[in-house]
Amino acid sequence: MAKIVAVTACPTGIAHTYMAAESLKVGAQKLGHEIKIETMGSAGVENRLTDDDISQADVVIIAADTNVDTERFAGKPIYMTSTGLAIKDGAAVINEALSKAKVTVAKEVAKIEEIKAQRSAQRSGVYKHLMTGVSYIIPVVVAGGLCIALSFAFGIHAAEQEGSLAAALMRIGGGAAFALMVPVLAGYIAYSIADRPGLTPGLIGGMLASQIGAGFLGGIIAGFIAGYVALGLKKSIKLPKSLEGLMPVLVLPLISSLITGLLMIYVIGTPVKGIMDWLTFRLNTMSTTNAAILGLALGAMMAVDMGGPVNKVAYAFAVGLLGSNTFEPMAAVMAAGMTPPLGIALSTFIAKNKYTKEEREAGKAALVLGMSFITEGAIPFAAADPLRVIPSIIAGSAVAGALSMSFHCALRAPHGGIFVLPIPNAVENLGFYIIAILAGSIVTALLVSLLKPNKNVNVINTK
């Protein structure tokens, strides 16, 4: 029996981190090994590895899609992989680690850091930086959106009464949390590009974008400008040794903020505001056919990689529009994100002969994840049978998104799954919205059930 320690981490720290940890845990149990797993999620580090854990370990597994410090593992065999591979087959990753992990010394730690830097460079660019910003605004938007939804529970116009609880909730959600959305998005895009020197100009540029009315699109542009300006200044400005302390607290924040701010005010802000106004107008005046097409596209994007880059782009698009009081795309995105695990769960119930006992048990977990709007609940099934499962869940999510937009359903809360549906006025056209979710789930379930072959297992009927 081997003693294993592992670390799992993903860029957003919401689902892949914990699903990889669970898969590794199940794999270790199956193989008869002892494992302790540290998760680096959105809530911070959990189940932290101690020095004793590391010293007693036979191998270290790092399943991560983001940077993880490896210095504390010097002298131990380290095996590095992705969360996706760990989720797909935890036992296979453990076997691979035990056979291929290499002992690290100081030189090899440096080599690993170099490899990590290369991987980071491969993941760099627009997507990586944008997703960093999105991962930081998700808690802000969720908290703010749910406060707004709770405010509407007292009535659509209840917040207009000064001093009321509804007004306080609206002030917390709309006045504070949503006011921070664009600055935080811009700030952490810039932070991803230039590290700490990018944060100040990014926050300032994002606040200016919000004040000008350039919305989330202006915030994204401000974040990239601030980040690359700060990075360029950091590399190009050289001060005497005695004045280097002024760089992070005076020189970089001041110059980068001035450049970013002036560009936003005099060059970028007004044109981007015009684009946002046009986009908001078009979305709010779309015909039913055009709305269905947009919903279909957003729905398919939510399912195609189940929490991956395409999924996050669709979600970020819908979340960004909340600040412009455009709520229909958010409803379509959440409906489409719920249907893959819900449809899979339904399939494991109506077509038991197509699944092993373990898969049917996993279907119960997928049901809970689907109800919670965690699309990643479908990943284990898609990884095991991608050619049949992925087209099925894309079709179901496309149907859910198209129906939601066609019915003009609107959602004021950016997350929460079925748990926000009972909040009065949080969802417009609630009955039709439930129909859209059910229809998408049924389409997925029927397609998966038809396409998958029978399993050679005995299915025991229990009543």
Q: Where are the chain's structural domains?
A: 3-122, 125-275, 288-451
pTM above 0.75, yes or no: no
Q: How far apart are CA 257 and CA 283, in angstroms?
A: 33
Q: Which of 5, 6, 10, 220 is catalytic?
A: 10
CATH code: domain 3-122 is 3.40.50.2300
- In this structure, are residues 366 and 344 in contact, taking their beta carbons and an 8 Å threshold? yes
pLDDT above 70 for 271: yes
Q: How do residues 355-398 score in pLDDT, each as one tens digit?
A: 888 888 888 888 988 898 888 888 888 877 888 899 999 999 99
Q: Which two tokens stand for residue 313?
A: 């782009």
- HSE-up (13 A, CA, CB side) for residue 281: 6
User: Which residue carries 């811009």 as its tokens?
Assistant: 186
Q: Please, are residues 131 and 312 in contact by the beta-carbon 8 Å criterion?
A: yes
Q: What's the distance, Cα to Cα, between the start and end of the chain in Å? A: 40
Contact predicate 328/432, CB 8 Å: no
Q: Which tokens go with 193?
A: 């590009």
* 409 catalytic residue (yes or no): no
The predicted structure's pLDDT at residue 450: 93
Q: Evaluate if residue 307 carries a pLDDT over 80.
A: no
β partners of residue 386: none
CA atoms within 13 A on the CB side of 22: 12
DSSP sequence for 74-89: TTSEEEEE-HHHHHH-
The string of pLDDT tens digits covering residues 82-128 is 888 888 888 899 998 888 876 654 444 455 445 444 444 444 567 77
Distance, in Å, from the CA atom of 356 to the CA atom of 320, rounded to the nearest integer, reads 41
